[in-house]
Structure formats: structure tokens, C-alpha cells
Structure 1
């Protein structure tokens, strides 16, 4: 009897060891497979996009080309979602106005809504005049040029996301189109004055974004933070600032986000902005008064008053981004579909609804699957943001886009937002040293330690600036190489 009990106990002990080994194996499998979940879902989405294209196109000549273009377009949309959307939600997350999970949900909903409800229905097939349509009028050459441009832009954005560098998706696709156009028809095919304006925007847009964001922060410091009674000052000025925000975003949405539904001039858009801004100021006064009751008279308490406006501004920026930048993913795809179906490159084409769905869903999937890395970089790793600083960044992005649209300058929302973040960071450095007279002499410290203690992290500044400078040349060179390889394999050379 005793031996039977011992054998049973020994068997149970052995079973426990085996179960523990199995449990450890399951944990190890889950740990190693977790990084593969996001690429797996992304690959499944790309396959589904290809199957949808095959189903909708049917057994027609050139269907396989459209299927390939749909897969590449889905890949581009995923990368735009992963990289570009961080500019809108990063400041709100960095300021702790919303959690990372909440930011992903808000951005996914508003990006999709913007793309489907207000996405541009007509797109220039050669990226708004970068390359002359007649120079690549032969349909087969045009199709492979657009394919190369789309793939090169997607590959570059993927690399930038992996490196943690927010780049312009607009400039990526522009560079791709330029490179493919040069490979197809020579340097004369490129509209060089337009490319010169785009190159100028590399400097103009981030500098403007930084200056305007710093200006808004200076106003907040002067009118609220430096006052003896900060809460009383906030009750006076925060409603005015929220009114300005509402008016600016109303103007922004009228000009950029809702152009599919209605076309408005700049003056009409500004009048709409004023009609929103003035009543909003009076509406927000009692709300801000109630929110400020019981708050301590210190700067940290003010973030409560800016948190909700910041989240709303991020959501509106996501909507407008979905409405405008979805064309970077689906514009070339729509051009390819048009060329295959009609046998002509065309100067302007309609975007089929299924193509818009691919772009919209791809933006959201890319954001949720791969966006957190860039959101963290933008929100907290360049400089420390609170709700007030992040609000200044969001508002400066909208103001600069409106100003640039009025001047006809091709600017990047990515460059503006990142410029705004650097602007508030450098303003803080200047403010602490020149106004508060804080002793920040770090000359005795090693170079690495001095760099680490700066308000703005210089390593990110250099990485991002270099990524911006080489975006167009890199995507152009890659696109030209891909175009040459594709036409060689297709027997067109």
C-alpha cells in the first residue's frame, strides 16, 4: 500500500514537471510569436485587398496588374497609417491627455471617416503635375511608373517608421513619381518649378510650424502662467484660446477636410471659422469656470482645462488627414485601374469606392498595428509635452496648413507638426535661460551629459532632419530602379 502511494506521488510530481515544461514552452512560443502578429495581420490585409481587386475586376485583360497594384496600395496605406498619423495623436499622448489605446481608437475612427466621407474624389494621376502626363502617355509605361512610385514610397516610409523617423508621405510619393517619370521619359518630363517649391517647403513649413507653436506658448506663458492668480487668468483666456482653436479648425476643415462635399474659397472658409469661433468663446466661459473650481493656483492644474480641447483637435486633424493623405496611397492605384480599364493614362481620374476603402482601412490598420512606436517618439522622445504645449503644436499645424494653402505652397503636415514640437522645445530652453535666469551652465559636464540634459533631444533632431532631406532623392532613386526592373521583366525594354 505504501509503495502504491509513493508511486502515485512520484507520478504526480513527474506530471507537474511535464506540465510546467509545457507551460514554459507555451509562454516562450507566445513571446516569440507576438512580434509576428502585426506583420501577419498586415499581410492578410494586403492579400484581402488583392482578392477584392480580382473579384471586382473579373476576368479581364490586365486584372493581374490591378491585383498587384491593390496589394502595393494596401502596403502603402499601412505605412502611411504607421508613420503619418503619429503627428496628430503623438502630442496628445505625450501630454497624457489620452492613453495610447484611446489615441489609437480615436485616430482609427476619424482617419477612416475622413477618408471615406471627405476623401478627394478626383486626383491628378501624376501627383499634381510633378510629371507631364503626355510624357508617359503609353498605358503600359504609365502603369509601371505608377507601380514603381507607389512601391518606392511605401518601402521608404516603412524604413523610416522602423528607424523611428516621422517623414512626409506626400514627399515620399512625389519623389517616387519624379524618379519613375525621369526613368520613363527623361529629366525634361519633370516640372522642376513645382519640385523647387516642394524643396523650399522642407524649410518653410517646419520653421513656420515651430515659430507659430512657440508664439502660442509665449502667449499662454504671458497671459496665464506668469500671472499671480493663474486660475482667474485661465478663466479669461482659455475660452478665447478654445474659440481660436474652433475657428481655425472650422476654417481648416472647410478648406481641406470637406472639399469633396463642398468647395469653398478662402474668404468663405474664414467667415465660417469666425462664425464658429465667436459663439464658442461665450459658450466655453461657464464650462471653463466650472472646470476650474477647486483647482490649485499652479501651472500643473491648468492641464485639466486644455486636455479636452487637445483631444478634439487631434481627432479633427486625424479626420482632415484621412480626407487628404489617403490620396497618397490610392491616387496611383486609381490611376493604374483607370489606365488598365480605359487604356489611357489620363490627366485626372475618378477613384473607385473600393479603392478608397482599401486606403481608409489600410490607414487604420497601419496605425493600430505599427503606429505606437512613432506616437511615442513624437509625443515624448523629442521634448517633454504637457497639454498646453501639445495644444500649441496642434493649433500651429492647422494655422500653417491654412496659410500655405492660401499661398499655394505644397507643405507637409508631418513637417509642420514636428517643427511645432521642436519650436515649443527650443522656446522652453530660451525661456528658462533668458527669462527665468536659471543657471543652466553645463560647460563642466561631458558632451554626452550636456546633450542628455537639453530640453530638446538633439539626436532626434538630426535623425529627422536627415530623413526629411533625403526623402525625395531616396524615393526617386528607388522608384527609378524599380521602374527599370519592372519594365525589363515585363519585356518593355
Structure 2
């Protein structure tokens, strides 16, 4: 079999594994507030989330996929070299996802993907093959890495402050309500959690859709960057299976370690996260569900009882956010070095 076909198949498989680990890693982000507020049992939460997670990539468009698929510029390279770079970058991102899951730290799969791919490209062919987007920014255009990083930077701030104001509003509207209102708030989470799961699928699975389409384009299997339906379906299945497997270590961090989540807090967090992520998907901006959910819980706690927020845990999470891109980049570089070493031994 042609080495190019083997590399393409390997990269497709690794992309789907990344998509799976993305769902596996982010499952806790979506179900944490439901479980912490006792709106659903874990099995119920996973089934609900899995259904709408599957629909998100199929119905959510391809704007994010287009952004991710074009932030690295591998045109003009030998197809074998280009595919090996993608493969190593994805392996770097997967490695970081597994490390942070093992430690129970809610890091960003989006950051890991950007870091892993950028690191692999830079060490293999130089910085010129990353679409940084700085020149476009001077002309008011958001493209490439600039667009990705700006979305990843602004989305946590939006998560915090939107949640802050939504919780203030909801607390005022429900002031004086009887305790039985908690039952209605728990039931309402079936709708808000479904919206959050749909938004997550529409944003996160598209990242893998963009990479898979890029693999097909670089390998010469398609003529232009257009996401095939089977790619949408494959990414939907992979991320849904990951969600159903569940990274339960992170549930404790998001549901209990930042702020004690009750039914009102949960529904406010879900509304905030779903709105921010859905809006970002519409604009083609890849964001981190981890960031948005975590900062929404912080914003709710700050709106209610700032001293009760465990800022030390929040600081730990923030530190992980800062180091994710460089650490994933280093891992992408490491896999490139290993690949080159194996290639020389084979030759």
C-alpha cells in the first residue's frame, strides 16, 4: 500500500481518536452542573447529552471547521510531509488531553489542538507555514491563529460576566420564591442542558471536521476545502462516544471544587455556556467549553458570595489554561522528532 494512503488513514484514525478524547475530556464540563445540582442522575445526564451532542455537528454548520482547517498553511509541501505534521500535532494534543484528564484538571482541548498543530508545523517547516493572522488584524480582519486565540481569550471573560449578570437577574426575579422552585429549576435543566450539549457538539466536533477535511485535501482525495457529510457523521459519532464514556474525574472540580452548585446556579451556568458557545459557533470561532463552563460558575459565585468561591482552585485552573498551548506544542514537536527518527531508521 502507498505510504501516502497509510499516512492518510493513520491521520484520519488519530483525528477521530482526538475527537473521542475531546468528548471524553469535555463530558464533565457539560454534565457537572446537572449532577452537582441533582437535576439528573449520571446515566440520565449522559444519555441526554449524547443525543444532542450527536446532532450538534450535523446541524451546526461548518464555520468552525473552516477556521481550524485553515490556520496552518501546508499547501505546497509534499503530501507525505504535510500529513506527518498533522499526525504528530494531533498526537501531541491527545497526549495533553490524557494527562490533564488523569490529573482531573479541566484544561482546554481547543488549546491543546492549536498548540499541538502549531508546534509540529514550526519544528518541521518553520513559522511561515502557520497562518498567524497578524497582518489581517491590522486591516480589521480576523483570520488564522489570531482569530482562534482571540476567541479562546474572550470566551472565558464572556462566560464570567454573562453568568454574573444572568444570575443577578434570576436571583431578583426569583426573590421570595418558595423552596419548591428548585424542583422546577431541576426540570428546566433538561432543556438548558440539551442546548449546551448541542452547542458543544456544534463547536468542538467541527475542529476535528476541519482537520479531517484538511487531511483529505492534502492527500489529494478531494479538490477543495469542503466538509463531506461522512466526515460530519464520523466526527459526530466519535465525540458522542467520548461523551458517553465520560471523564468523571473533572466533574468533582467543576461541580464542587469552585463553588457549591445548586439548581439556580446550574441553570444559569448552562444558559450562559450554551449562549456563548452557540454564538461562537455561528461566527466560526473555536472556543473552549471547559473555559466557558468554569468561568460561568466563577461568575455566578462572584455575583452571590465572592468569598465562597474557591479562588485557589480557580487559580490552578487558570494556570493550566496558560500552559496548555506551550505544553501541547512541545508534545507536538516531540512527536515530530520521534517520527523523523523512526523514518531515518526505516530508511
* TM-score (structure 1 length as normaliser): 0.61
Shift of 1:408: 7.3
Corresponding residue of 1:129: 70
Corresponding residue of 2:138: none
Deviations 1:169-216 (A, max 9, x none): 222211222112212321232233343454444543222211111111
Corresponding residue of 2:45: 103
Deviations 1:80-129 (A, max 9, x none): 111223222221221111111111111122212323454639944x8243
Q: Is the 8 A contact 2:199 2:277 kept in 1?
A: no
Shift of 1:363: 1.8
Output the CA distance in 2 between the equivalents of 1:122 and 1:208: 19
Shift of 1:409: 5.8
Output the CA distance in 2 between the equivalents of 1:337 and 1:307: 44
Q: Is the 8 A contact 1:210 1:416 kept in 2?
A: yes
Quickly say closer, same or farther: Cα 1:470–1:112, change in 2 above 3 A.
same
1:327 aligns with 2:268: no
Output the CA distance in 2 between the equivalents of 1:78 and 1:348: 23
Quickly say closer, same or farther: Cα 1:325–1:200, change in 2 above 3 A.
closer
1:210 aligns with 2:86: no
Output the CA distance in 1 between the equivalents of 2:146 and 2:315: 23
Output the CA distance in 2 between the equivalents of 1:457 and 1:83: 22
Deviations 1:438-462 (A, max 9, x none): xxxxxxxxxxxxxxxx522234212
For the aligned residues, what is the CA RMSD?
Answer: 2.9
Corresponding residue of 2:289: 413
Corresponding residue of 1:464: 317
Output the CA distance in 1 between the equivalents of 2:168 and 2:64: 41
Shift of 1:68: 2.1
Query: Residue 38 of structure 2 aligns to a residue in which SS?
Result: coil
Corresponding residue of 2:140: none
Q: Is the 8 A contact 1:122 1:348 kept in 2?
A: no
1:222 aligns with 2:162: no
Q: 2:215 aligns with which of 336, 346, 351?
A: 336
Query: Residue 482 of structure 1 aligns to a residue in which SS?
Result: helix
Deviations 1:425-476 (A, max 9, x none): 122224xxxxxxxxxxxxxxxxxxxxxxx52223421221111111111111
Output the CA distance in 2 between the equivalents of 1:122 and 1:411: 9
**TM alignment of 1:111-122, pairs within 5 A:** 111-118=53-60, 120=62
Query: Residue 329 of structure 2 aligns to a residue in which SS?
Result: helix
Output the CA distance in 2 between the equivalents of 1:405 and 1:79: 20
Corresponding residue of 2:130: 190
**TM alignment of 1:282-361, pairs within 5 A:** 298=178, 300-342=179-221, 348-351=225-228, 353=230, 355-361=231-237
Corresponding residue of 2:141: none
Quickly say closer, same or farther: Cα 1:143–1:157, change in 2 above 3 A.
same
Quickly say closer, same or farther: Cα 1:409–1:112, change in 2 above 3 A.
closer
Q: 1:160 aligns with which of 100, 103, 112?
A: 100
Q: Is the 8 A contact 1:180 1:476 kept in 2?
A: yes
Between stretches 188-197 and 154-163, larger displacement belongs to: 188-197
* TM-score (structure 2 length as normaliser): 0.85
Output the CA distance in 2 between the equivalents of 1:427 and 1:457: 14
Corresponding residue of 1:79: 21
Q: Is the 8 A contact 1:122 1:350 kept in 2?
A: no
Deviations 1:212-270 (A, max 9, x none): 11111111222322x4xx2xxxxxxxxxxxxxxxxxxxxxxxxxxxxxxxxxxxxxxxx
Deviations 1:274-329 (A, max 9, x none): xxxxxxxxxxxxxxxxxxxxxxxx3x322122222222111122123223311333
Quickly say closer, same or farther: Cα 1:361–1:198, change in 2 above 3 A.
closer
Output the CA distance in 1 between the equivalents of 2:33 and 2:19: 22
Corresponding residue of 1:143: 83
Quickly say closer, same or farther: Cα 1:463–1:122, change in 2 above 3 A.
closer
Output the CA distance in 2 between the equivalents of 1:220 and 1:400: 18
Deviations 1:13-70 (A, max 9, x none): xxxxxxxxxxxxxxxxxxxxxxxxxxxxxxxxxxxxxxxxxxxxxx666343233224
Output the CA distance in 2 between the equivalents of 1:76 and 1:398: 22
Q: 1:180 aligns with which of 116, 120, 124?
A: 120
Quickly say closer, same or farther: Cα 1:490–1:209, change in 2 above 3 A.
same
